[in-house]
Structures are given as structure tokens and as C-alpha cells.
Copies of this chain bind each other. A is one copy, B any other.
């Protein structure tokens, strides 16, 4: 069943995003308003929303213009947040998440976005979109703000500890991602470690450094970086295993939240400070926008033959719109083709990808 409206006219230049409208803690309550935020910015983007039509439509009815740019594909089936990835994959046929990813595979959409079960999404994406030739494992990549520009970081938790070759491949995937996302020709790449000296760090990190210092990379390998280099913007791409990456990501989020908490506490503690805060209202608003983690929500599964973006499960409409925007940007920059070309080029040169 479809809600394809008459004035929905897909155009060649327009980007279409397949949305799992049922994913995450809030489903369409967040997915539809989130899509509307992006729609207000860019009327060219089309959406296909997969999920329970009776739950999606009431939200969509609030935004007539978005409704015109959106098609609903109904399904009753949803993957639960707590399902094991293997079980979820087996029972995934016809689910809103799988249908959204399949829309990318069939060419109906340029990218898929879901706030659902991360493990299930990775398992389904691997089956449906398939791994790129020669790539061991997918990784989860995101873009974070830095004092200088922004930093692409991966893996954020698609894997835990990996071997040195896989870690070195993540460097390739991260560099290719940065080339497409940031539109730069020679991204700098650093390997996350506990120190910058050669002798430091666990075996798999030192062995990956050894590999990266020898092979040709679609970027410039800069050696080890440390946790604070992520926000310094020392390199375009920070590469790590999913164990270190996930812990770094969540620790950083926690520090951000704590800082905000103490700031609010301090500023609301005396009348003079409240007045000061009021005078600085617009400056504080600009500041909040700079450090708001919702504006950097969205992890891309790299290493696959299509764009698949994971949103935080607990985010709100603003956060979900960031994941949609990231998907749209990658699609617009021709990410899938650029990655495939780069991997083919590297394969023919007998490097890491074989």
C-alpha cells in the first residue's frame, strides 16, 4: 500500500532517502518531524518511509509540503531494539528496516536511514548491500566537530577488537569516506593510540601502523594520534577499533553533557548570572549549536555497496534530521561510486584490498 501523491515527481537530480520510520525509541514521532527539518532546508530531497502507515500518516499530515515529497510503503513488521542481530536477520524479511535497505539495493533510494537496532542493521546491510570486494568487515564512521574543521572517525562500534589488517583497511575506508564527504583529494589519516611514540600501544595497533607506513593509501598517513586529537582536528580521519572508538565516543558525549549540566547550574545560581545569561542569549545559542551532539548524529556503515546510516536510537527530531542530512550529503557527493572506484583502483595495485 502506498501513499504516493500525484504531485510527487521523482527527478534524476533529486536525492531519495529510504527511512525506516519505525526504528529507535520513538518511531514515526521522531522520524517524520526529523524528515521535515531536512525538507524545510531542501525541498528537492524525496523520502520513502517504511513502516506502519496508520502510525506514520497522522504525523505526516502535520506537514503537507513534506507529505508531497514522501511516499509511505506500509509494513506491519518491525525489528525490536533488543533482538539479537543473528535472530533479527533471519526474521528480517518484510521489516521496515530491511525494506528501507533493500530500497537502496534496488535503486529506488540513494541511501537508507534507521534509528533501529545497530547489530541488526549491520547484519541486514551486509546481506542486502554486500561488502565491497576485498573488504573484511564494515565499520561505523561518523563526522565530529573539531576546533579546526571536523574529524571523520571510525570504527565507532560495528566491531570490537580487530586484527591489524582489518584496522589498516578501516584507514582506507575512512580516507575514502573523507574524500567523498569533505570533498578533499588527500585526507590526512591518524591511528588512535595511547601515545605518539612507535613503541606505544597494543600489538594490533602497532602492527597496523607498520602496514600503513608501507602501503599506498587514498590519503596521507600521519602516524599515531591520541584521544584529544579527535577534537583538535589534527587529522581528517581518526582510525581505531570499535572497542576504543565506542568508548571514546560515549566518554566524549558524557563530558559534553556534564559540562552543560555544570554550566546551567552555575548560570542559574545567582541573579546577576541569570541577567548575564539573558544578555548573552544569542551568543549562548550559537555556542550550543556548535557543541550540540544532535547535530553530529548519524553513523555510516562503510565498506558496503551502498549508503546506510544509523541514527542514535534515543535522539529527537533534530538529531534524526542530522542522520538524514548526512545520508543526503553522501548521496549527493556520489559516495557509493567514489568508494567502489577507489577500492577497484586499490585492488588493481595489489595493496591492502585484495
* Interface positions of A (Cβ within 8 A of B): 84, 145-147, 157, 160-161, 192-195, 199-203, 205, 226-232, 240, 242-244, 246-259, 261-263, 265-267, 269-270, 272-273, 275-284, 286-287, 290-291
By a CB distance below 8 angstroms, the chain B residues around A256 are 255, 259
Taken together as a complex, chains A and B put the C-alpha atoms of A345 and B261 apart, in Å, by 41
Taken together as a complex, chains A and B put the C-alpha atoms of A291 and B269 apart, in Å, by 16
Nearest chain B CB to A154 CB, angstrom units: 14
Cross-interface CB contact of A255 among B231, B262, B263, cutoff 8 Å: B231
Is there an interface contact between B287 and A279, defined as CB atoms closer than 8 Å? no
Nearest chain B CB to A173 CB, angstrom units: 19
Is there an interface contact between B283 and A262, defined as CB atoms closer than 8 Å? no
Is there an interface contact between B157 and A258, defined as CB atoms closer than 8 Å? no
Taken together as a complex, chains A and B put the C-alpha atoms of A270 and B285 apart, in Å, by 13
Taken together as a complex, chains A and B put the C-alpha atoms of A84 and B198 apart, in Å, by 12
Nearest chain B CB to A223 CB, angstrom units: 16
Nearest chain B CB to A193 CB, angstrom units: 8
Is there an interface contact between B290 and A146, defined as CB atoms closer than 8 Å? no
Residue of B whose beta carbon sits closest to that of A286: B266
Is there an interface contact between A258 and B147, defined as CB atoms closer than 8 Å? yes
Cross-interface CB contact of A283 among B161, B205, B228, B272, cutoff 8 Å: B272
Is there an interface contact between A160 and B273, defined as CB atoms closer than 8 Å? no
Is there an interface contact between B282 and A272, defined as CB atoms closer than 8 Å? yes
Q: A147-B262, A243-B244 are in contact. List 11 more A-B contacts (CB 8 A).
A: A195-B246, A226-B250, A229-B254, A231-B254, A231-B257, A251-B252, A252-B255, A266-B284, A270-B282, A273-B284, A275-B279
Is there an interface contact between A280 and B283, defined as CB atoms closer than 8 Å? no
Is there an interface contact between A243 and B201, defined as CB atoms closer than 8 Å? yes
Is there an interface contact between B202 and A160, defined as CB atoms closer than 8 Å? yes
Interface centre among A201, A226, A255, by most B CB within 10 Å? A255
Is there an interface contact between A262 and B244, defined as CB atoms closer than 8 Å? no
Nearest chain B CB to A263 CB, angstrom units: 6
Is there an interface contact between A254 and B232, defined as CB atoms closer than 8 Å? yes
Nearest chain B CB to A170 CB, angstrom units: 15
Nearest chain B CB to A155 CB, angstrom units: 10
Is there an interface contact between A227 and B250, defined as CB atoms closer than 8 Å? yes
Taken together as a complex, chains A and B put the C-alpha atoms of A291 and B258 apart, in Å, by 9
Nearest chain B CB to A53 CB, angstrom units: 32
Is there an interface contact between B280 and A267, defined as CB atoms closer than 8 Å? yes
Known: A248-B227, A251-B228, A253-B228. A280 touches B286 (CB 8 A): no
By a CB distance below 8 angstroms, the chain B residues around A266 are 280, 283-284, 286-287, 290
Taken together as a complex, chains A and B put the C-alpha atoms of A265 and B291 apart, in Å, by 12
Taken together as a complex, chains A and B put the C-alpha atoms of A335 and B286 apart, in Å, by 47
Is there an interface contact between A272 and B262, defined as CB atoms closer than 8 Å? no
Nearest chain B CB to A299 CB, angstrom units: 13
Residue of B whose beta carbon sits closest to that of A238: B251
Taken together as a complex, chains A and B put the C-alpha atoms of A89 and B120 apart, in Å, by 51
